[in-house]
Amino acid sequence: MQTVIIYFVTFLVFLTVFQISDAIRCYECVARLGPGDTNPCLYGDENQLRRVHCMGPSVCAAYHYQTLIPGMPPLNHITRGCQALRYGATCEDIFQELRRRNEILPGHHTCTTCSTDLCNSGVRIKISSLIMYFVLFVFISFLTLL
């Protein structure tokens, strides 16, 4: 039975590595919005966002921060696009790079990365996370039955 688990985990690792190393497509946009402004990039409107093929091994990323500087109206900065694996595949990697370049402003920061085609729109990020948690739940349930 342990052999089955080892094969299953190896298979999952193989799928993850293969999927991330494969060239993927991401939504791409950049927007800077003031109070009351709206833009397809803010909500990840799939019908209006540009689709790009990532160059080399990459993940898709969606990064949003709202500056909170006293005495100034808040500004929303939104970026969606490819994140090359050589720069890291996680949001923490993105934050480290922004800190290194002194581009972190005071405010509220959110970020998501994902590794399937066109996964960095507003809706798909939430759905792909739910699917991942469901698969993890099923796997853990399977292990407890053994």
pLDDT digits (tens, 9 = 90+) for 75-86: 899 999 999 998
d(CA 88, CA 95): 10
pLDDT digits (tens, 9 = 90+) for 66-108: 888 888 888 899 999 999 998 888 888 888 887 888 877 778 8
CA distance readout (Å), 75 to 9, 67, 124, 126: 44, 5, 24, 24
Yes or no: say if 113 and 60 are a contact pair by the CB < 8 Å rule: yes
pLDDT digits (tens, 9 = 90+) for 29-51: 999 999 889 999 988 899 999 99
Yes or no: say if 57 and 46 are a contact pair by the CB < 8 Å rule: no
List the chain domain ranges. Answer: 2-145
Interval 105-117 mean pLDDT: 87
Q: May I ask the CATH architecture of the domain 2-145?
A: Ribbon (2.10)
